[in-house]
Amino acid sequence: MNMNNVSTAQAGAGILETNKVLKNTYLLLSMTLLFSAFTAWLSMYLQLPPFGFLLTFGGYMALLFLTSMYSNRALGLVFIFAFTGFMGLTLGPILNHYLHAFANGQQLIFTALGGTGVIFLGLSAYALTTRKDFSFMGGFLMVGILVAFLAGIGAMVFAIPALSLAVSAMFILLMSAMILYQTSDIIHGGETNYILATISLYVSIYNLFLSLLQILGVFGGDD
């Protein structure tokens, strides 16, 4: 009887901890997305030039490393806002390009934004309500993202539009799967650090938005 009480208490504590991580993750994710949107607007307003691949990738990796390193300290919050703020700054020139390159650029941006929101909320709700374990996708996602990343570099270096489009389609599928995987990981106690959970979801949302925007620009853009 005592063992049953202990098991019940442990299960209850585990559920409370999971709910706490979920709450903190979605709260921090909302704040970082808003901050990223502000820095993107600031970048657009200042008409900042494109950051370039090396600067963007270097800043991304450095700030991601620092955020992960200090994820168990209060300083981790400083670095996650630095990371998402930087990513917002790099997004500004891309959005300005769509606004100037396409007559319906604003519509494309809002459509991509809306599509990203629907996909994220829909997949998160599915993972939360069904509570299915998607941990089996971890290895596949790591390999898929690596292949898509290398293919993206190849498309950029060799200027192959068809490959670039295929990479965007791959990233939409991979980032959608990542949202399921990451949410499931929190639910089942695999991820207990809300800073790391937040940055993982943020990166998925960021890449999902950019991939949708690129595909919309190809198929729905009015030059």
Arithmetic mean of pLDDT over the chain: 91
Q: What is the mean pLDDT of residues 35-43?
A: 98
> Model confidence over 93-109: pLDDT tens digits?
999 999 999 999 999 99
User: pLDDT (tens digit, 9 = 90+) per residue, 155-194?
Assistant: 888 888 888 999 999 999 999 999 999 999 999 888 999 9
Average pLDDT rounded to a whole number, residues 67-94: 96
Owning domain of residue 133? 2-220
Contact 135, 178 (CB under 8 A): no
d(CA 3, CA 42): 58
What's the Cα-to-Cα distance from 128 to each of 27, 58, 78, 184, 206, rounded to whole Å? Answer: 16, 34, 29, 7, 21
Q: Kindly give, in sequence order, each residue whose CB lies less than 8 Å from that of residue 192, ignoring residues fewer than 6 positions away.
A: 17, 21
Residue 14 is predicted with a pLDDT of 54
Into how many domains does the chain fold?
Answer: 1
pLDDT band at 7 (very low <50, low <70, confident <90, very high): very low
